[in-house]
């Protein structure tokens, strides 16, 4: 089995022209000494980094791991390198990466001070004809490419010892480095990077070139955080099906079933690898990774992998289509960028350099006011774009299916009932102010608490065919109207006290209070800024403008969703939307104080769970828009109708599937 692996160019850190770029007026001797001194200081760190990078996203039992390591022993390369044809001199800097045939170095042109990534291949490593042919083919393919999202090929030359290929220098290293630091990426970042990969890959396919080794280590990031597809050591011309190469080449975790089955590489094989890349970005590991290479190949041939519930439906669907076992069932590159994963989600125009090591904060910019007038016109009455929204009278899907939960058992002993009551008692506690509540109300902690309470009730309440007779009068806030315009701005909602909130795509939350004059802005949990809607700070004007139009639109166009009274209790903290999630059957909303609401599209029923005085209450609004409120402890002891139970089970399932 011929598993080939060529050099993976790994750009250096973002420290500009390090590695001895220097002043072109410096003498060659002095420059050589400076470079050598720098090399000595960095030798140990560079060696460790190289060894670590060779293992990044490579199967632990892959035979190439040892082969790549053994290739490290090469003759010493001169610090000052001269192109024998042009006479131009270069200073070799730090190691950026290495592979089976070569190493990649930072290299500075001593005339222009321009920094390149230089792939240096010793003649001794390509002494056999087929090895040299491979390098010549890589040069031939790469030098003709010119695209914004392809690593630029600049020049190549040879001397008696080596072949030198000068490539575009990407100071932010590779996506493998970024994921190693970050573990997982956010969905907006994945859209940002995938769009650029698709752009570069579409260009390659239009040139009838297959990359054949798409993986995180071959996507490089420049100083402007632009992605470049690189490493064309395995690239090949697209051939008709009957003439395709049957060689199994690439990186094990990203190989497609047809390649493993020796049916040859096609454009669809690159699409498969792209699906593996998307999965890895979102979840931090390749989809078919196992501890055994044979098992990995078996899973690939069977297209057997798991899609965790933490992924939202559009992401799951796109990954599933790209990882279709049959190549003909995979989407085209144009289909990929037209998928709901891209169309219904926020994609930033650019990313800050801090994304290389920390989660980004997608702050909305403050463009000119006329932009927001046009945006508002498009959102609320314009002809070009309209908001996607569902009010309480939309009729969509059939009744939501129940999820699988443990079969409930009837608890008869008082001690058991008391113990279970503790399961469904509130654990968030009461808050005297909004800021106090928000400080501890992270998405994870609130969601986990509500999920534990709801699951405890479902798993332990007895069978019943009716709703309990208990009916409480409760004071709480709930969502009466909502608008989903997340493909542009965010998710808007109106509470029963007429507070209007917007959870913007950048993660910021803004609320317009019932007086229509006061704005609460939450940049982070526990940090609330209060200001007048008519005199907002300059940096908030754009968001306030959108907030006002959301408010106006819902007030003028949408109906309330039930008969619950609008109650305002100034002693309770104001609700603040932490998270929302839409399936094809329902909408889920989770708030900072533990209020959890699920609206079912097909029959307009709703479930609202809230915490009052350390007691969880459940309100059910039926098809006739009539509401009933129970204590969860009452349901725990008496049970409820299947109609309500199925909705509770579906609500729990949505909560467990919330995005990270």
Catalytically annotated residues: 213
Show Cβ contacts of residue 345 under 8 Å, excluding neighbours closer than 6 positions. 187, 188, 191, 314, 486, 487
3-class secondary-structure state, position 108: strand
Residue pair 390/263 in contact by the 8 Å Cβ criterion = no
Relative to beta strand 115-122, strand 162-168 is: antiparallel
Largest CA distance in the chain: 94
The whole-angstrom separation of Cα 272 and Cα 268 is 6
In 3D space, the residue among 481, 388, 453, 443 whose CA is nearest the CA of residue 611 turns out to be 453
Task: Please give the structure tokens belonging to residue 329.
Answer: 């069932």
DSSP letter assigned to residue 407: P
Residue pair 585/647 in contact by the 8 Å Cβ criterion = no
3-class secondary-structure state, position 403: coil
Sign of CA dihedral 321, 322, 324, 329: positive
Residue 42, annotated as binding a ligand: no
* Element holding 129 (H helix, E strand): helix 129-143
Backbone angles phi, psi at 157, to 5 degrees: -155, 170
CA angle 429, 470, 398 (to 5 degrees): 90
The whole-angstrom separation of Cα 427 and Cα 449 is 7
496 CB-contact burial (10 Å; exposed 0-12 / middle 13-18 / buried 19+): buried
The whole-angstrom separation of Cα 124 and Cα 118 is 18
DSSP lists the bridge partners of residue 92 as 107
Task: Indicate the angle between helix axes 187-206 and 267-283, nearest 10 degrees.
Answer: 170
Residue pair 81/164 in contact by the 8 Å Cβ criterion = yes
Residue pair 657/309 in contact by the 8 Å Cβ criterion = yes
Residue positions in the annotated binding site? 128
Residue positions in the annotated binding site for ATP? 128
């Amino acid at each position: 089995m011929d598993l080939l692996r060529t050099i993976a160019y790994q750009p250096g850190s973002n420290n500009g022209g390090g590695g001895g770029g220097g002043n072109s007026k410096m003498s060659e001797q002095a420059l050589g000494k400076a470079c050598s001194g720098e090399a000595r200081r960095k030798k140990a760190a560079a060696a460790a980094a190289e060894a670590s990078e060779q293992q990044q996203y490579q199967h632990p039992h892959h035979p190439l791991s040892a082969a790549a390591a053994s290739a490290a022993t090469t003759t010493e390369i001169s610090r000052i390198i001269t192109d024998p044809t042009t006479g131009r001199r270069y200073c070799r800097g730090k190691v950026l990466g290495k592979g089976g045939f070569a190493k990649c170095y930072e290299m500075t042109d001593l005339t222009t001070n321009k920094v390149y990534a230089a792939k240096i291949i010793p003649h001794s490593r390509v002494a056999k004809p087929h090895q040299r042919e491979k390098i010549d083919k890589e040069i031939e393919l790469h030098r003709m490419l010119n695209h914004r999202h392809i690593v630029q090929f600049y020049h190549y030359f040879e001397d008696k010892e080596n072949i030198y290929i000068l490539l575009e220098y990407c100071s932010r290293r590779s996506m493998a480095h970024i994921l190693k630091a970050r573990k997982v990426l956010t969905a907006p970042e994945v859209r940002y990077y995938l769009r650029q990969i698709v752009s570069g890959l579409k260009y390659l396919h239009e040139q009838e070139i297959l990359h054949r080794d798409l993986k995180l280590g071959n996507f490089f990031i420049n100083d402007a955080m632009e992605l470049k597809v690189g490493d064309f050591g395995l690239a090949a011309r697209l051939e008709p099906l009957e003439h395709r190469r049957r060689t199994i080449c690439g990186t094990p975790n990203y190989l497609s079933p047809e390649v493993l089955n020796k049916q040859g590489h096609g454009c669809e094989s690159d699409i498969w690898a792209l699906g593996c890349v998307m999965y890895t970005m979102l979840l931090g590991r390749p989809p078919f990774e196992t501890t055994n290479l044979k098992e990995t190949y078996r899973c690939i041939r069977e297209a057997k992998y798991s899609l965790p519930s933490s992924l939202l439906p559009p992401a799951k669907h796109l990954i599933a289509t790209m990882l279709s076992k049959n190549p003909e069932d995979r989407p085209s590159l144009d289909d990929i960028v037209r998928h709901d994963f891209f169309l219904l989600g926020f994609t930033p125009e650019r990313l800050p350099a801090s994304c290389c090591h920390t989660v980004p904060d997608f702050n909305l910019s403050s463009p000119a006011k006329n932009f927001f007038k046009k945006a508002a016109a498009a959102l609320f009455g314009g002809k070009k774009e309209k908001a996607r929204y569902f009010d309480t009278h939309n009729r969509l899907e059939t009744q939501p299916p129940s999820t699988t939960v443990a079969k409930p058992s009837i608890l008869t002993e008082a001690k058991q009932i008391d113990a279970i009551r503790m399961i469904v008692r509130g654990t968030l506690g009461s808050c005297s102010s909004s800021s106090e509540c928000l400080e501890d109300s992270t998405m994870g902690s609130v969601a986990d608490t509500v999920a534990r309470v709801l699951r405890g009730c479902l798993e332990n309440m007895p069978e019943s065919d009716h709703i309990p007779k208990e009916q409480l009068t409760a004071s709480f806030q709930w969502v009466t109207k909502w608008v989903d315009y997340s493909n542009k701005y965010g998710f808007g909602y109106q509470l029963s006290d007429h507070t209007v909130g917007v959870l913007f795509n950048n993660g910021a939350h803004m609320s317009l209070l019932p007086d229509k004059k006061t704005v609460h802005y939450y940049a982070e949990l526990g940090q609330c800024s209060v200001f007048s809607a008519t005199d907002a700070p300059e940096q908030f004007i754009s968001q306030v403008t959108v907030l006002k139009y959301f408010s106006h639109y819902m007030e003028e166009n949408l109906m309330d969703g039930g008969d619950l009274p609008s109650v305002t209790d100034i002693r309770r903290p104001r609700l603040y939307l932490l998270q929302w999630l839409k399936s094809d059957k329902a909408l889920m909303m989770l708030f900072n104080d533990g209020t959890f609401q699920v609206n079912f599209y097909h029959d307009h029923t709703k479930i609202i769970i809230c915490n009052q005085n350390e007691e969880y209450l459940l309100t059910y609004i039926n098809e006739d828009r009539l509401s009933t409120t129970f204590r969860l402890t009452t349901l725990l002891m008496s049970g409820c109708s299947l109609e309500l139970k199925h909705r509770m089970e579906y609500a729990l399932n949505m909560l467990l599937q919330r995005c990270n």
